[in-house]
Amino acid sequence: MSEAKLPRVGIVMGSDSDWPKIKAVAAALDEFEVGYEIHVMSAHRTPGVVDQYARSAVGRGLKVIIAAAGGAAHLAGVMASHTTLPVIGLPVPTELQGGLDSLLSTVQMPGDVPVATVGVGMGGPRNAGLLAVQMLALSDETLSTKLVEFKRSLVDKIAAKDAALQKTVAGG
């Protein structure tokens, strides 16, 4: 769990080997001071654990679940089938076309079982964390204000990069 904040986001992954590939989720949540918890569980190897986690999430104060898995990548879908909370699927890169298998397994959900899915690869984990922040900001004015400030900072960041590029191009 992050800092002393009560967890509002659950981060679950199919294997501990996924952590290095997805830890940007936690960094994004830390940036906004959103509490989270992290667990390893498998839709296929520990289905009872997944079921219990999903069913108890609301009662434990979670508001969003981020489920990361690679390959067959059924964790997000199974999680979503057992909770009313929003579930963000995070496809973990694999050796099969960079994780295309994970992406398709996560995003191709049947009707009535929605899973919001972010991209596979570098931007996916950060975007999963930021999407959770956006969901939480709908009912949290402090978080909403931080999110507005963050979006403004992106404009400044890109303007600074453009100015630096212009100097480089003009000088060369």
> Edge-to-edge strands of the sheet including 87-91?
36-40, 9-13, 64-69, 87-91, 116-117
Which token pair is 74?
């059924």
- Residue spans of the domains in the chain: they are 9-139, 142-172
pTM score = 0.93
Cα–Cα–Cα angle for 93, 129, 112, rounded to 5 degrees:
80
pLDDT digits (tens, 9 = 90+) for 56-106: 999 999 999 999 999 999 999 999 999 999 999 999 999 888 899 999 999
Which CATH number, 3.30.70.360, 3.30.110.40, 3.40.50.1970, 2.30.40.10, labels domain 9-139? Answer: 3.40.50.1970
3-12, 65-74, 107-116, 122-131: which has the minimum mean pLDDT?
Answer: 3-12
Whether 89 and 115 have beta carbons less than 8 Å apart is answered as yes
